[in-house]
Structure 1
Amino acid sequence: MTTTDTTGRAKDKAALRAPIARRPFFKLSDFVLEAILLAIIVLLAFTAPGFATWDNAMNILRNAAMTGIIAFGMTFVLILGEIDISVGSGLAFFGCLLAVVTDGMTAAGWSAEIGVGAGVVLCLGIAILAGMFTGWVRHALAVPTFITTLAWMAAFRGGAYLLTGSFPVTPYPEWFFFFGSGAILGIPFQAFVFLLVFVVTWFISRYTVFGKSAYAVGGNAESARLSGINVLGVRMAVMAMIGVFTVLSAIMVSSQIQAGNPTVGVTWEFTVITACVIGGVSLMGGKGRVWGTFVGVLFLSIMLNGMTLLNIDEYWQYVARAILILGAVLIYQVQAMNARRG
């Protein structure tokens, strides 16, 4: 290796350790989505019956938290230039696995606390291993994560039905329901978890070597490798991360519905990806912000809540989501083209 190569790698590593360059805080173009969201909130407050109430606001937060936690993990996946379509099925599988393990251990004489704890550990272990395997397959065999997670999607959904015999399993003790239905100072417990995951992932994306490495790999994996980044490690860690967040959401969903149900999570991957794209995360990789996903999750949750209150048919809500994701992609693509020309 030449002196020039060594110096170049040293500079690249130093750049990864440095904080992301700060942009001007009051840059109007960065707050277009926030402005639109505010306008929609004002509009719905005057047109949707019951929208501007505390109970409805808490309901929006509760629903946003369930998908939002996974969306923060999906943000990193999309930044890598990958996609994970197994999260909805994973949600069902891990919820059912947790219920079956808890039921089996309590039937064997163990306490419910030990049963739930063992189930959570098993779910996390499987999620992490599955994610790492997906990352390894992407790196070592060049198989797109879309293909691998398509296989996981089928396996997880089938596994959920096999574990439960196609029926909900309800083995949980009363204290477990707090995670899905409890509140602190009138605010849903899920909202606090949602905010905690947001803060952690926001910090990782902006101030850690791992976060900046994810952007580098998504921008150009070969250049990232040449600069000394462990591309395999980044891919495996990101895919494991979204698995952990899926388990976390599965715990809260199971707590809320008080069962492990193999039918939950259908189309969740579409909802999660839509929230990320609305928030400005590029499907091409290398671009996106956790804050944008946070706003995108709230935007989508408020839109769906408003349409429900306005008695808009559920099928039209799916059409609205499709329009939102296509519109967001087209807008950001036009902005990128204009930026290159400028």
Structure 2
Amino acid sequence: MNENIRIAIAGHGNLGRGVEAAIGNNPDMRLVGVYSRRAPDQIKPRHAETPVYAMEQLPEDTDKIDVLILCGGSKEDLPRQGPELAALFNTVDSFDTHARIPEYFAEVDPVARANNRTALVATGWDPGLFSLNRALGEALLPDGATYTFWGDGLSQGHSDALRRVAGVAGAVQYTRPAQEAISQVLAGERPELTAQKMHKRECFVVLEDGADAEEVRTAIVTMPHYFDGYDTTVNFISAEELARDHQAMVHGGFVIRSGNTSPDTTQVMEYGLKLGSNPEFTASVLVACARAVHRMNALGQVGAKTIYDVPLGLLSRRSPEELRAQLL
């Protein structure tokens, strides 16, 4: 399908740079601009010819952008930017605070609907692809249990939350899955496991000058939705160690559904990801979703949407005829 979808990026951190790379792999799209809260002359896009603008420019450019991909953080950026920008553009974002997704959806939906915009919220690989597999497993094996394991890898959202803590100069967080729990589930057992029992969280933190380490540690381990209730280890390191040892952004995980189709027949469904770059893969999902959002809006499907509302074929660059002939 020979579309020419005009994509813009709001925010130019790791995720925004990943979106730049992903757009280059999709010939039906073109990047029309990067918008940042930083001064435009401080931004170095992947290609020198890519225009860079201040975020304040966005309201003036509504006629130049088909889909705006929001690349801010879930803790502070997206709760504000999502509703504001859904009034002006078709948007895609990776809001990933699972417990607050219904609340966030409710804030974005009326704004997007009132302005005939389509806003796909909370997508990526989890929430996103893993969400699809949780729903699919439950639908196919109603007599069963679903388990989601994250890691071993660096979490962008949790790392961003760490960096927002007062007294933190820099930080990353790794999610470590419990191998014994994975083995139980793959064996077809149905252990009663909370997310806290299935994972450990390990933080590597650089303190600001004069910051109190114990105050920072307490603020981290008690942070709701992120670290509270988890087995969390906080390691204080130097800026040099952070730069030397913690720049790779690997990640991944599994969704496993274990169930029975008859009393003596156990079935196990497994979907897994092993990612060399968390932000680049997340960005690839966002870009495919931008294609779907562009098409959905053209069909009059406005308001906030989640990955459950997106027909799979709309994510693909192939035509329906090609999909039936080549992939079905």
Higher strand share: 2
Shorter-chain TM-score: what band? under 0.3
User: When the two structures are superposed, what TM-score results if normalisation uses the length of structure 2?
Assistant: 0.28
Greater relative contact order (Cα 8 A, min sep 6): structure 1 or 2?
A: 1
Higher helix share: 1
